[in-house]
Amino acid sequence: MATELQNLSSYDPHTVPSGEGKRIGIVVSEWNYTVTGSLLNGAIHTLLKFGVREEDIVVEHVPGSFELTYGARLLIEKAAVDSVIILGCVIQGETPHFTFVCDSVTQGCTELNLQLDVPVVFGLLTTLTLDQAKARSGGRHGNKGDEAAITALKMVALRSRYQ
């Protein structure tokens, strides 16, 4: 398991580009908000730590994970953001709903990244249990929100090098 090998909140701060002057959107699912709220807090804390101003962090809530990609597209088209982070949590249940939602969000993020010129960062936890989700949203495996924020800053820097 990948997170057994590396904590989601571990990174070399010297490799993280500055977020000064950058505008970052975050779309967060209200479903499983105990988990997604922790992801959001981690992402915001990390963005602020690397120089993104609070007023340049645009946060929008959507009902569930399925709606994350639509929210991301709206922020890209209407909020003039340099990157969008999607944050959600889908926990395996007894029906195939888990697979459909996870596949849809994954494909939607890929399509946004290929169609639009703004990086969309995948911060969707797809776990088998609530305990696994908690371990990845500020627990023993770190916080996927931290990792998503670092990824957003790195992708904005990559995009800037080729403009």
Does 14 participate in catalysis according to the annotation?
A: no
Q: Is 12 within a domain?
A: no
Per-residue model confidence (pLDDT) at position 4: 63
Helix (H) or strand (E) holding 29: strand 24-29
Low-confidence ranges of the chain (pLDDT < 50): 1
Domain assignment of residue 89, given as a range: 22-161
Q: Is 126 within a domain?
A: yes
Radius of gyration of the chain (CA): 15
Q: Is 76 within a domain?
A: yes
- CATH code of residue 26: 3.40.50.960
Q: Is 16 within a domain?
A: no
Q: What is the DSSP letter of 128?
A: S
Q: Is 2 within a domain?
A: no
Q: Is 28 within a domain?
A: yes
Per-residue model confidence (pLDDT) at position 1: 44
Q: What are phi and psi of 87, to 5 degrees?
A: -130, 120
Q: How many domains does the chain have?
A: 1
Cα(127)–Cα(11) distance, rounded to whole angstroms? 23
- Which position among 14, 45, 61, 97 bears the catalytic label? 97
